[in-house]
Chains A and B, each alone.
Chain A
Amino acid sequence: MPNREFDLTIHPDGRVEVHVKGFPGKACLEAAKFFEETVGEMLTQQATHELYEPEEQVQYRLENRR
């Protein structure tokens, strides 16, 4: 299964910058909530263009076989 990735930078003053990757749509913002609950207050939150991609869907293709 594809994995989800987080790039964290803990600055010397304690500020934490988190880059959340691999979450479909707005689930990304929900994933960021875990870090807010663990670290403290959210200063800024910025969505990249990928956030607006559609959420994951499972597709089935049915083919007629002879």
Chain B
Amino acid sequence: MSCVCVLTPVVIAAWPSFSAAVLSAAATLGYSVATSDSSESSTRQVSLQVERSEIVTDPLGRDQRLSIFRDGVTITFSRDARGRAAICVTGLGRTDEELRTLGQELGQRVVQQYVYQRLKSEMAARQMMIVEEAVDGGHAIRLKVRQWKN
């Protein structure tokens, strides 16, 4: 009466829910929202994408861009021309590899937060209750969920 499965996430989100995941992930890694575009001509820049992502177009045409900042590194999330979530990492005095690592780390955490928020809302709609919740030393979110039979 039990089975184990492993799932790889697909992010299909409207900008508000995606940007909420960005802010949650940024907070867990000590980033804060950048108030202005701090990129200078001398900074290095690396572009990445969130794998298997699709950001739904905002019908109101609002700006779909969010920048966060930590230790001289600015990471900007946006929707690219193909609708995927794009990540642009800029920083002074950093190698491309360092910037890529920071961008990938944050990009993965954004996906983790997106999945967490989505699971929470979908499970609540099915009367599935989270009875235990913890973040382990490896930064994995562990949930124990119960559903009572009708």
Contact = CB atoms under 8 A, between A and B. Distances in A.
A and B associate = yes
Interface of A: 1-25, 28-29, 32, 34-36, 38-48, 50-51, 53
Interface stretch (B56-64, B66-74, B113-121): B113-121
**A6, A35, A46: residue with the most chain B Cβ atoms closer than 10 Å:** A6
Nearest to A43: B6
Interface in B84-142: 108-109, 111-112, 114-116, 118-119, 122, 126, 128, 138-142
Contacts of B5: 17-18, 20, 32, 35-36, 42-46
B111 A13 contact: yes
Given A8-B142, A9-B141, A34 B2 contact: no
Given A2-B149, A41-B8, A46-B4, 6 more contacts: A1-B149, A3-B146, A4-B149, A6-B146, A8-B145, A28-B1
Contact of B147 (A4, A9, A19): A4
B27 interface: no
B65 interface: no
